[in-house]
Amino acid sequence: MPSKPNPFDEIERMFDRMSRQFESLDPTDFAGSLGGIPLNIRDEGETFVVTADLPGYESEDIDVTLLDATTLRISAETESDVTSEDETEGEEGVFVRRERRQQSVSRSVALPDRVTEDDTEASYQNGVLTVTLPKEQTDESDSRTIPVNP
């Protein structure tokens, strides 16, 4: 008489299949949709231009840091006026619901090539941060030709 299949074996196989499918995904592909900072990196020859969506922040709320020659970190934090439960009257009326509180986001991104701090610029306009990063120039005088012997 044949034995009944074990339902837990089937569940285990299903989890194995799902794990294999998720292994091929890059989590940075979903950073914008998961609450991170959505951004684009454009190679313009001698510079990289990073544009990031940061609506609702002021320029002084934003911190742009070059962690090393290939890693850029963008973070932003803002706080709205927070009142206690018994302070419900605003300047123009009474709050029926109050949900806006402190908000912070951060994202580090690996750059395709090394960049230099010199002449790096950042600007913020209409909720979009633009960071221009000059690529590190390799000095051709530092390079050397290696002869190939027959």
What does the domain layout of the chain look like in residue ranges?
Answer: 28-138
CA distances from 118 to 3, 38, 121 (A): 72, 25, 9
pLDDT category, 86, cuts 50, 70, 90? very low
Question: What does the pLDDT look like over 23-75, one tens digit per residue?
Answer: 766 555 555 445 578 999 999 999 999 999 998 888 899 999 999 989 999 99
- Looking at every residue in the chain, the average pLDDT score rounds to 80
The domain defined by 28-138 carries CATH number 2.60.40.790: yes
- The overall longest dimension of the chain from CA atoms, in Å, is 88
* CA pair distance 105, 6, nearest whole angstrom: 46
pTM value > 0.75: no
pLDDT category, 5, cuts 50, 70, 90? confident
